[in-house]
Each structure stands twice: as structure tokens, then as C-alpha cells.
Structure 1
Amino acid sequence: MKLPYKRVLAFAAALGIGFILAPQPDPPFTGHGDPAALTQLYQRWKNAHEQSASPDTLQLGLSYSKALSARFSPAAGRLQLNLRTGRLQAAVSDLPATGQYELWLLDNHSPSRQRLRIGQLEPTADGHRLAVQLDPQQMRGFTLDAAAIVQAGTSPDNGGLLFGSPSLLQRLYFTEHDWPGTTLAAAGGVSAPERAPFEFLLPKTAQAGNFGRGPQLAQLIARGQKIFTEETFGGNGRTCATCHRPDNNHTIDPNYIAKLPKSDPLFVAETRPELADLEKPALLRQFALFVANADGFDRPPVMRSASHLLGLANTLTFERAVNPGYGNGEFTQDEAYFNSHDSEAQQSGTHTQAIGWSGDGAPDGGSLRDFAKGAIKQHMPKTLIRAENIDFRLPTEDELDALEAYMLSLGRSSELNLANMYFKSPLVQNGLLLFNTKNNPKAADGSVIFGATANCNGCHFNAGGISSTTNANPTRDTGVERMRDQLHHLADPTLAYDGGFGQLQQNDCGPNYDEICFSDGSVSPSGTSSRPAGHHGLNRFNTPSLVEAADTAPFFHNNSVTTLEESVAYYSSDAFNSSPGAFTSSKANRQGKLDSSQVIAVALFLRSINVLENIRSSNLLDKKAMEQNGEPSLKSLKLAIADTQDAVEVLQQAVINPYPEALEKLQQALNLETMAGNRFYPGRIGLLRQAIALKEQARNLMVSGG
């Protein structure tokens, strides 16, 4: 018997199956990537860029590239190209005065990887410069993917010293921007009679067209997700996801590593003799630490953890000595690094981003896009010779577009508003109040009152990785590298000490001030450290977001602290309180002296905001799973289950569970999601709707506002 049409619809809806009259294309699988998050980031960038002094000028930072440079060079500079007039200028500082250098433009889209010599730089009082008028006929058919400063008589492929390339946000802007015809000067300075658009030169994304169309952006992110998780770049079998596991908050830890089979590509240093020194296997398994040649392949490597990538777009702004519209930073070295990479980056976000644990982890112009190149050469080669196109290949420009889109779309798209949040547990609310302050108060006589605040807000505004003073990601020396008896140094006493930001040799590193490391040469201002006289050199590392901290242990750049409570307690330790990070450059005292109950309160607050983020993320993934079919739906649901499981574990692992009723709701939601993971279950969409509702109820039991 045939059911009436309306009854069929009602029956299907009741089962939660969904019913469509015509086939509709499935939304692409983007994993944790959220097109809305990337759209918001781009719109912020676009607004700032168009308000800048020269929105029609393409600016690229030029610097040493761990992936591309023929040898290390401390030189750096910038390239500026006026896209309406074709006027190109390059300025570089710190190149040896005795050499001769050329500027080349690179087209990596063409099958022949076209390289175009623009001209020779002229020595000046402050470096080397070049100013030319591009010939539109000479440039016809050329796409500007990168620029290189090259030793004269060589090419970018064998003699390149400095490199830079446009970011994804620049490429998206050029893709959607309407560039009217422009009068250009032909070679020789004679005005061309025709009005020729310069659009052909601009680098664009593979998804050309209107950026505002969500499906196009989702496709770009989906391609990035696939590259991130599957592409080995002709190397040793590792992918980006080998160390940044999507089902483990895009990081990796010792507990996760312990569950992996010996055949996992993570362990190639154990299974391939030619890669025996790629990692230190015992330290990788015990501490989840990776060998990182952060200061160049000709210098001793350091050991660093794989930082998570969630909410990355919120912490990329590089702190400067002067931050337009905000307070001043604390180090002139930051300004020098910033200026040498990209003079427009603070407004545009195009380059000079705070990447890697030391804030300077990216080659080329210092952007997230460039970071992928160095990571491939570092972690994915077939041999330690690291010969390009033999031991690995670098990503194409289209692949870099997709990878950057995926990474920028991960996690939350904006910061919390702690001032608008009220936690319904008095324990957690007290932790919020302790956290959300900036300096220790003072008594009437000017003496510092300790124990009334945790002083977290100054560097972790709204629990993110942004300074409340500069609105940028700060790099600070908080004493971690001076800690005594760090476990990985006890396990391997031959390990080099990590100087953090910069590549200048420093001779007073380590807990006894007698080790060599490489830093930026900055020193703590007088009165801002209790270290011995003559030992005020800094080892600075960037400030991570704390919203995702509770389920991304261990902590710090070297995984030296294993639990959240220990990491909070560290800021009341002698190691921190004697460090320059315990003071500001104006000598404001931020030393911590919390008692054990206050440490627990702050940790409970951090656990709570992590659970709220888990709920947001898992609900978004549940909704994706409801919109998708087949394997993409199950993959989204698997990630949602991992996030909900994280929320459960973050509360279960607390010293005290402040929200037993919320935990029960989360466990119920997890059970429903697990049932929905059965692809043959007829009411799976209904189960996911119930799971989302339960998680929202859990949130409401925990907090109001925010």
C-alpha cells in the first residue's frame, strides 16, 4: 500500500532521516575547518587593509628561508609593488657590502616555474635598494607567486638568499577585488597609449570568483583538510596530521603516542636507518618532543612540542615596540624583526605573524603560509640531506592556499568576553576573578600585596594569547628554560638549551647560566629581574591561548609541565618569580604567590572555558554531520565525539568537579553521538539533535553570558 505523499514526509521527518525531492550536493568535508571563521578573519583583514595608507600596494617581507635559502643570512627586507602604476621597490638591510645582489620574481604556477630577473640592487648608506618600472608586456602571462634576493650570477633555485610570498588573505583579496584599467609606463619611461589592467600579475586562489560565496571557500578549506591529513609531499610518509592529529586537538601527547602502532609514520626515525637522527625516539615517546632546527640546520637542534592549531587565527598578530592604536610593546628587537619582514603587517596581517613556539618559526616573510615549507623540510624528508625534489617536494602555490585556509579556519573565530561571563560555581567564579586581573595591587605605602590576583590577564587577555596592552601576541621570558631538573634534560643531558626568539649566540643560558643557546640578544630592563648581575639575556617564547589548554597537555614549549594544575602553580614558583616575565618594562610587579586552593580555582576556571569550547566545536561538527551523507558525515561525527569526550574528560580529571549535573548531560550526549555513529541507525539525525540540546543544557548549567 502506498502512503500519501504528506504522510511519507511526516514519517521521514519523525525518523530524522531527512527527505529531499531532488539530489543536492553534499557539503564538502572540512573537518574542524569552519568557513564562517575564515570569512570573519578575512573581513577583519580586508577592512584594515583598505584603511591603510596604500591599499593598492602589494607588500612582501623578504628574509632567510629554512626551506629555500642556499645558506643562512641575517639580512631582511621588503618588496613593494604598486598595482596601479607597476612601480616596484625593494629595500634590504644587512647584506654583506662586498657582494652584488639581484631581485627576481617567481611564477610557481607555470609548468616551467618561470623565474624573471628584475634588476640588480644598488648599495646605499642603509643597505641595498632597487626601484624599477615594470613593463606590462614583459610581465604578460606572469603570476607573481614569490620574490627572491639572489647572489648575482646565480638563480633563485641555487643561490637564493632571501624569499617572500603573498599570503592567503592577500590572494583572496586580489581574487575578489575589481581592478580597473591603469595607465602604465612602458619600458624607457614612455607612457603607453593603452590602459592595461595589471590584474594578470596578481596571485589568486584556485577558487577564483566572489569570496563571499560560502561553497567556494568551503571547497578551499576541504582541499586543505585533505592535503593536511593525506599529502606526504614526496617525503618519508609523514603528513601534517602525523604530529598535529585532528582527533587530538591538532596536537599530540605521550598518551596518544603510546597507543600508536610501530608502523605509524611518526616513528620513521626508528624504522629507517637513514633517518635515525631525524628525531630522538626516546624523547618523542616519553615527552612528545620533536627535533627542531629552529636556528638553522647548521646549528644544534632544540626539542619542542607540537603546539595545537585551534583558534590559531586569533593569536597571529606579532607584537611590536609600537602598536598603532594600542600600548607599546617591550622589546626593540620585536620592532626590528617586524620591520625587516613587512612594514604593513600589523594592519594587514599579511606577514610577520607570531608562528611557532618562539614567535619566529616561519621562514620567508614570517607568515603561517611560509611555516608549512619549513615544516616539510624539517619533518618529512626521505634522508637528512634534505635535497628538494629528491627527499621531499615543496607545496605548490595552490596547495599552500588550501593549507593556509584550513589552518586559519580551525577553532573559534573570536575571543571570549570574560567580563560578560558569570560561572554558576563559586569555585570557578573565584578562579575567573583571580585570572582576570593584570597586576598585583599595592598597599597605601606602595608595597605589593601578593595572593590577591593571579595576574593572568596581562598576557592572556580574555584567556587567549593576546596582550591586553598591545592587542598582539607577546613573546616573554617566563623562566621555563631556567628551570632546574627538567625531565627531558635529565633523560638526555646532551640536549641543547633553547634560546627561543632570535638566532644570535648567547652564552649564559640554562639554570646555571653557563650553556650556549641562540636568542635575539634582548636583555631584561634594569629592575625587572632578580637574576644574577650580568645574566639578563632573555629566552623568549610566544604566548599560547589558554581557552584550549585543559585538553592539550603537556604544557610549555618543551612539555616540561604535565598537568594543568602544575602549570598554574608554576607562576607562583621561584623560576617564574625571578624571571623577567614576572615584571613589565615599566617595573609593574606580576609575580605570583597563590596558595593551593587558589591554584585549584584558576585551574577549574580554565577547565570550564575549555569545556565550553568543546561544546561549541562538537555541536558545530554534529550539525555538519547532519547536513552530510555517507563517509563525510561519519568523519564529522567522529570528530564531534572526540570533542565531547574531551569535555567529559576535562571535568573528570579536575581535582574537584564543580559541575556534576553538567557532566551527566555531557555523558548522555556522548552516548547519543556514539549511537548515531552507527551508519545503519535509522534515527541518527534525531539522536544528534538530542545530543546538541543536552550539550547546550550542560553549558547553561555552567555559565551565563559570554
Structure 2
Amino acid sequence: MPYLVTLTALANLHAGPAPQAGPGHAGPSHPPDGEELFDEETFAGNGRTCASCHRRDGRDVTDIDPEQVQRVYRHRPKDPLFRSIDSNDGKGNDYSLLLRDATFRIPFVLPPNVTVDERDDNVYQDAQGRTVVVLRRAVPSVRNITFEDHLMYDGRENADLAHQAIAAVQTHNEPGRLPTQREAEAMSAFQRTLFTSRQLERYAEGGPPPELPHGSTPAQRRGRRFFEQRNAPDGLCAMCHSGPLLNTTNVFNPIEGPNRRIAGNFSSELNANGYPAYTFHFEMPDHTVRTIRSPDPGRTIITGDPCIDDPAACTINPGSTASIFKIPTLWGVSNTAPYFHDNSAKTLEEMMVHYQRFFHITAVGLQNPDFEIDDQEASDIIAFLKLL
């Protein structure tokens, strides 16, 4: 059975005693307003609210991007967004990565069967003697979150959005108190009202599932073919973006197989942000050791097993695809930049350049040129993505 990183361990990583939390804490007597808590409640912490990182634009909640971070810094360099826990070294000396990529420091306690070679500001022993690795991650979108059965980029929270809200406050707000269960449930209920389109909102209310737009231009219609549930070269994108939410693998996926929410796309391996890589050693149940060098192993650092969520990592070119993450929905994708777990693709165009590289590697590995994406096809895919 794989080792799991517990969220209790994740929540206790920042210095100081754990704040009081849960139903036993004296919260407000009236029913809490989830939207008000999301926008305004700091939980007696470092001044951050949920909206500090999930920015509000009127009624809409947008994904924070580098341009927003830089704008805030120009006008308010002491804004709660800029706290030492999310500086480059965790000590407040340099915010260049937050400004450039809009990524934040996320601490992970390594599973007992995992060791790491390096020791620096991002790898240390906690008070219990456990090894902690701090990785930089983007802020996950909260829009369309009511459909999610895997929360966070590595899927560590499953579908318990209230529990995730408590863990997020603990990790990012340096709180004097944690949300009560009622407050967490109220924030969860508010987030479940956020959608990228009325079509998806109707689907959440029991309406028909969204259908792929047909497209009105030749480029859009050509781009649509990549998202129809077929084998390569048609249906290439659908191999990982199928189902009503465009977030599951299909039967034509030659690596992952069908109906998976976790997959690899080499965003960590190609490491466009140039983040430091670490050497992780995983002791397997048979006492063999698998070694992965990666700036962020994704799901693998949660399970402690490179094979459980990505069998290809242990069968096809072992170790090469073990940095795996949750497959996101593509509905509303043109309004949810930047992309990937590390915001390494700042635009749709950069995202497609990444996938041209990824599918080239796939084509070489599988000795199948059908996986190649040329520049015209990349442009067609972008034209179609803008319709979603």
C-alpha cells in the first residue's frame, strides 16, 4: 500500500504551535457567509484572505497571473500577497519567482520510503525529524471546482473542498485560528457557485453535458478534430482531454489507458521555469530503489510510488514520466492562463510550443510520427481552444 502524505502533516509545517481549529473553536453565532469569508477573512493571520491569491474581478474569481502580481507589487509592495513564506528562500529576501511566475512555496513531508540527496533552503528536517521539500506551485483555479474529484495539482485532497479550505489557510495565511467547520463548508459552498460559463453551471444543476463547439472557421474545425475521441493523429488532444469536462484520458491513450485523472505531460521534466531539480530515491515494496531527478515529482511525492498512478514510469523508459499531475478541464481555458502546475506556459501559444515538444518526444519514444504536431496544427488547436 503506498505511503500517503497526510494533510495534518502538511498543515503543521510552518513555525509555531498549531492554531485552534474546527467545531470546538468559538466562531460566529450566525450562519457564516462563504463569499464574505472568501473575500475578507484573514483568520488572524498574515493579512491574506482567499481572495489575495484567487483574485476578484467583480463577481468573477480569476486565476492569479504574473501580471497581476507585478501590478500589486508596483503599487503595494507590502501587500499581504508578499509574505516571507513565499519568497524565493522563505525568508523574505527575494520575491523574483513570485513576481515572474506567480508561484508559491508549498511544503511537503516526504513519505517514509522517500529520500532526497540535496540540502538547501527548500529541503530541511522539521521538528519531528521528517524531511520536508518545498516546491513552487501555481494557484489552482477555483472555477468549475464543483466538478472536481481531485483537488490540488497532485490530487491530494480528493473532493473534500471544506477540508482543503482549512489546509490552505494553514499553509498560506499563518493563521491565529483555523476556519471552523461551518466556515469551511460556507467557503466551499461559495466556491461551488463559480463557473467559467452558464453552460457548465446548467450542467452542474443537472442539465445536459457540454458539447464541443463545431467551429465556424476552417482553422477552428480542423482544431476540433484533435479533441474528438479518436486515435492519433485525429483525437490527439482527446487522449488526455476527454469526457464531459475534457479532463480524463480515453481508450486511445497508449501510455495511461482510459479514465485516468492523473497523467504526465513533461511540464516538470522540460522545466521551462528553470527551477532547481532534486534527486529523489523511492524504496519500492520489493526493496528495489527507483531514482527520479525532478524539480517537482507531482503526484509521486504524495504516494511515494512512481508506478501506482503512472504505470508507464515503471514499464516504458522507467523514471522518465514519474512527474505527473491532475489533468485540468479545458473549458474556459482561454481565460485561465498561465498553464501547468508551475505556470511555465504564460499563454496558449507557449502552451502549444510545450506540447509540440512533448509530442515530439512521444513520437520518438513510440516510433510513431503521427504524434508530431506541426505549426499549422498548433495554430488550429489554439483557434479551437478559444471557443471552449
Same fold? TM cut 0.5 = yes
1:111 deviation in Å? Answer: 6.4
1:278 deviation in Å? Answer: 7.0
Confirm whether residue 483 of structure 1 aligns to residue 260 of structure 2.
no
1:664 matched to which residue of 2?
none
1:416 matched to which residue of 2?
210
SS in 2 for 1:544: coil
Kept after mapping to 1: 8 A contact 2:84/2:92: yes
* Greater percentage in helix: 1
**Which residue of the other structure, out of 240, 251, 261, is the alignment partner of 2:63?**
251
Kept after mapping to 1: 8 A contact 2:55/2:63: yes
Percent pairwise identity: 23
Q: Report Cα offsets for 1:620-648 as digits up to 9, x if no partner.
A: xxxxxxxxxxxxxxxxxxxxxxxxxxxxx
Confirm whether residue 508 of structure 1 aligns to residue 323 of structure 2.
no
The verdict on how the C-alpha distance between 1:112 and 1:563 changes in structure 2, with shifts beyond 3 A counting, is: closer
5+ unaligned residues in a row in structure 2: which ranges?
14-20, 111-125, 204-208, 252-256, 282-288
Cα distance in 2, alignment partners of residues 527 and 496 from structure 1: 18
1:370 matched to which residue of 2?
163
From the CA coordinates, give the structure whose radius of gyration is larger: 1
SS in 1 for 2:136: strand
Confirm whether residue 548 of structure 1 aligns to residue 350 of structure 2.
no
1:66 matched to which residue of 2?
8
Kept after mapping to 2: 8 A contact 1:480/1:576: no
Q: Report Cα offsets for 1:596-633 as digits up to 9, x if no partner.
A: 11111111111122xxxxxxxxxxxxxxxxxxxxxxxx
SS in 2 for 1:608: coil
Kept after mapping to 1: 8 A contact 2:48/2:81: yes
1:398 deviation in Å? Answer: 1.3
1:357 matched to which residue of 2?
153
SS in 2 for 1:245: strand
1:559 matched to which residue of 2?
343
2:139 matched to which residue of 1?
306
2:104 matched to which residue of 1?
290
SS in 1 for 2:387: helix
Note the 1:98-247 alignment, pairs <5 A. Answer: 108-109=22-23, 223-247=33-57
The verdict on how the C-alpha distance between 1:458 and 1:535 changes in structure 2, with shifts beyond 3 A counting, is: closer
Q: TM-score, normalised by structure 1?
A: 0.41
2:190 matched to which residue of 1?
406
Confirm whether residue 603 of structure 1 aligns to residue 388 of structure 2.
no
Q: TM-score, normalised by structure 2?
A: 0.70
1:435 matched to which residue of 2?
227
2:117 matched to which residue of 1?
none
1:487 deviation in Å? Answer: 2.5
Kept after mapping to 2: 8 A contact 1:438/1:455: no
**Which residue of the other structure, out of 77, 89, 107, is the alignment partner of 1:262?**
77
2:123 matched to which residue of 1?
none
The verdict on how the C-alpha distance between 1:590 and 1:228 changes in structure 2, with shifts beyond 3 A counting, is: farther
Q: Report Cα offsets for 1:660-686 as digits up to 9, x if no partner.
A: xxxxxxxxxxxxxxxxxxxxxxxxxxx
SS in 2 for 1:554: coil
Cα distance in 2, alignment partners of residues 479 and 111 from structure 1: 44
Kept after mapping to 2: 8 A contact 1:476/1:543: yes
**Which residue of the other structure, out of 465, 486, 492, is the alignment partner of 2:247?**
465
1:270 deviation in Å? Answer: 9.2
SS in 2 for 1:433: helix
The verdict on how the C-alpha distance between 1:400 and 1:591 changes in structure 2, with shifts beyond 3 A counting, is: farther
1:76 matched to which residue of 2?
none
Cα distance in 2, alignment partners of residues 464 and 279 from structure 1: 41
The verdict on how the C-alpha distance between 1:410 and 1:398 changes in structure 2, with shifts beyond 3 A counting, is: same
**Which residue of the other structure, out of 281, 296, 299, is the alignment partner of 2:95?**
281
Cα distance in 1, alignment partners of residues 5 and 313 from structure 2: 34
SS in 2 for 1:284: helix
Kept after mapping to 2: 8 A contact 1:235/1:392: yes
**Could you tell me which amino acid in structure 2 is paired with residue 255 of structure 1?**
E
The verdict on how the C-alpha distance between 1:526 and 1:488 changes in structure 2, with shifts beyond 3 A counting, is: closer
The structure, 1 or 2, with the larger RCO (C-alpha pairs under 8 Å, 6+ apart) is: 2
The verdict on how the C-alpha distance between 1:249 and 1:605 changes in structure 2, with shifts beyond 3 A counting, is: farther
1:459 deviation in Å? Answer: 3.1
Q: Report Cα offsets for 1:188-237 as digits up to 9, x if no partner.
A: xxxxxxxxxxxxxxxxxx86xxxxxxxxxxxx7xx111101100011000
Kept after mapping to 1: 8 A contact 2:313/2:320: no
1:562 deviation in Å? Answer: 2.0
Cα distance in 1, alignment partners of residues 69 and 94 from structure 2: 14
